[in-house]
Amino acid sequence: MPLDLTEHLKQLSETPAPSAHEGPVRAVIQAAWTPLVDAFEQDGLGSLIAVKRGTGPEPRPTIMLCAHMDEIGLIVAEVRDGFLRTEKLGGTDYRALLAQPVLVHGRRVLPGVFGAAPPHMSRDRKKYPPASELWIDVGLPADEVAALVRIGDLVTFDAPFVKLRGERAVGKSLDNRASVAAVTVCLDELTRRTHAWDVVAVAAVQEEVNLAGATVAAYQVRPDLAIAIDTTFGEQPGVNDDVSFALGEGPTLGRGPNFHPGLFKALRQVAKDHEIKLQVEVLPGHSGTDAWAIQVSHAGIPTALLSIPIRNMHTPSEVVDLRDITRAGRLLAAFIETLGPDTLAQIAWKLPRDNAKEERTP
């Protein structure tokens, strides 16, 4: 059955699974990937590790695709008088929470809302209220709340996935479910192609908490090459042009110290050969993604970063162009097809002796 990207992304987006509580989306992803891969493996923190074997002779090199599956969310930090104070799970933007509907995952799922003093009363409307002044109201008496909700319970956004005009859609958690969907597109494409290398697709946990999942998954998998898939800033008012990218003009490919230049060039070439739209994203240092952790695993792993531009990152209403997801997935599959016995040697750094330029002149 051909992959229905919109349906798949909708399901991913609407599944509540913040950092360290990825179980529900893990199950969704595993179900989607099962017909596309050969086996699943475990690591110590619970990332989903899927293995699709290649056709080359053993021992086969491995390429790891890593997309984190956790979303930003909140956790109940205090229950007082029927109201709930929260702390972040990941980079949640508290400024975008006032009046937002949420779901509190206590003994049962309770719809709630971040309340605010009415405009008539607010003394200071020039600043967003700090997190410590934001309380969730679930509309129930205090004793019921105390029985249903305790510290540590999850809070996620009650935000449906909706198609907009054209190829765009809005939903929560497109960071990073859009990237997970791109990996699904890639795995789906690979069922119609052959590839020599083993492909290990990782839906990593806890990226939003110090890249924890990618760190340990890379240790476990120990790939020869790695591509992290994440999201990046879409162009919009108030965002610096140098660090944001047009929606619908293709995913971005990272360029900078975090990325192996040989791998960067190879991916850029494949995009060109297949006429897949691609933008270049210059990142002078820490990329803020799983790629940063993966690159320094073991004795070092040549790493690349593919990112899908989204607007309104870390709010419950992120916007993406679905074509960019398809392009990312297709680029990954096309690149994987090119991997052969000489790939590593071709992208490796060279010493003067390797350039067969001999120094002794008679």
Partner 1 sequence: MILRELCDAIGVSSGEDAVRDLIYTHIRDYVEAVRVDALGNLLAVRRGTGAVDLRVMAAAHMDEVGLIVVGYDSDGLLRFRAVGGIDARILPGTRVLVGPERIPGVVAWAPIHLNSSEDTVSIERLRIDIGVSSRDAAQNAVERGELIAFDSRLVELGPTVRGKALDDRAGCASLIALIQGEPFPFDLHVAFTVQEEVGLRGARVAAQAIKPDVAFVLETTACHDLPEDPDEPDQTTITRLGGGPAITVVDRSMVSDPRLVRFLAQTGEREGIPFQFRSPQHAGGTDAGAIHLTRGGVPSAVVANPCRYLHGPASVMNLSDFENQSRLLRAAWMALTPAVLERD
Partner 2 sequence: MEALITKLAEAWGPSGFEHQVRDLIRAEVEPLADEVWVDALGNLICRLGEGPLRVMSAAHMDEIGVIVSHIDRQGFARFSNLGGVLPASLLGARVRFENGTIAPVGVEHQFSKRNEIPRLEGFFLDLPADSGVRPGDPGAFVSEALWQGERVIAKSLDNRLGCAVQIEALRRLREQGTPHTLFFAFTVQEEIGRRGAQTGAFALEPDFGIAIDITPAGDAPKASPSAITLGGGAAIKVRDTRHIVPGWVRDLMIARAEEAGIPYQLDVMMLGATDGASIQLARAGVPTGGISIPARQVHTRSETALRGDIVAAVDLLAAVLANPIERPT
Subset of 269-298 contacting partner 1 (CB under 8 A): 280, 282, 284-286, 295-298
**Residue among 14, 189, 207, 208 flagged as catalytic:** 207
Q: Interface with partner 1 includes 352 (CB under 8 A)?
A: yes
Q: Interface with partner 1 includes 257 (CB under 8 A)?
A: yes
Nearest residue to 219 (alpha-carbon basis) of 305, 295, 302, 304: 295
Cβ(338)–Cβ(266) below 8 Å: yes
Q: Interface with partner 1 includes 44 (CB under 8 A)?
A: no
Using the minimum distance from each CB to partner 2, give the nearer residue, 152 or 237: 152
Q: Which amino acid is at 56?
A: G
From CA 19, how far away is CA 281, in angstroms rounded? 26
Taking the complex as a whole, how short is the minimal distance between the CB of residue 353 and partner 1, in angstroms?
8
Residue partners of 80: CB distance under 8 A and separation at least 6: 135
- With CB under 5 to 8 Å by kind, the binding choice for 2 among partner 1, partner 2, none is none
Paired sense of beta strands 39-41 and 154-157, if any:
unpaired
DSSP states of 99-130? T-EEEEESSSEEEEEE----TTT-S--SSPPP
- With CB under 5 to 8 Å by kind, the binding choice for 282 among partner 2, partner 1, none is partner 1
Paired sense of beta strands 73-80 and 154-157, if any:
antiparallel
- With CB under 5 to 8 Å by kind, the binding choice for 260 among partner 1, partner 2, none is partner 1
Q: Interface with partner 1 includes 126 (CB under 8 A)?
A: no
Using the minimum distance from each CB to partner 2, give the nearer residue, 78 or 273: 78
Residues that bind partner 2 (CB under 8 A): 19-21, 43-46, 75-79, 85, 87, 89, 132, 150-152, 206, 209-210, 212-213, 215-217, 219-220
Which of the stretches 26-34, 103-111, 117-125, 255-263 binds partner 1 when contact is defined by CB under 8 A? 255-263
Using the minimum distance from each CB to partner 1, give the nearer residue, 80 or 286: 286
- With CB under 5 to 8 Å by kind, the binding choice for 210 among partner 2, partner 1, none is partner 2
- With CB under 5 to 8 Å by kind, the binding choice for 142 among partner 2, partner 1, none is none
* 193, burial (CB in 10 Å: exposed 0-12, middle 13-18, buried 19+): exposed
The CA-atom distances, in angstroms, between 335 and each of 65, 181, 203, 290 are 12, 17, 19, 20
- With CB under 5 to 8 Å by kind, the binding choice for 216 among partner 2, partner 1, none is partner 2
Using the minimum distance from each CB to partner 2, give the nearer residue, 68 or 311: 68
> Among positive and negative, which fits the CA dihedral 85, 87, 89, 94?
positive
Q: Interface with partner 1 includes 118 (CB under 8 A)?
A: no
Annotated catalytic residue 207: yes
Question: How many Cβ atoms sit within 10 Å of the Cβ of residue 297?
Answer: 21
Taking the complex as a whole, how short is the minimal distance between the CB of residue 219 and partner 2, in angstroms?
5
From CA 138, how far away is CA 82, in angstroms rounded? 8
The helix (H) or strand (E) run that includes residue 354 is none
Subset of 232-251 contacting partner 1 (CB under 8 A): 240-243
Cβ(249)–Cβ(313) below 8 Å: no
Cβ(65)–Cβ(37) below 8 Å: no
Taking the complex as a whole, how short is the minimal distance between the CB of residue 148 and partner 2, in angstroms?
15
Taking the complex as a whole, how short is the minimal distance between the CB of residue 76 and partner 2, in angstroms?
8
Binding site for partner 1 (CB under 8 A): 240-243, 255-257, 260-261, 280, 282, 284-286, 295-302, 348-353
Which residues belong to the active site? 207
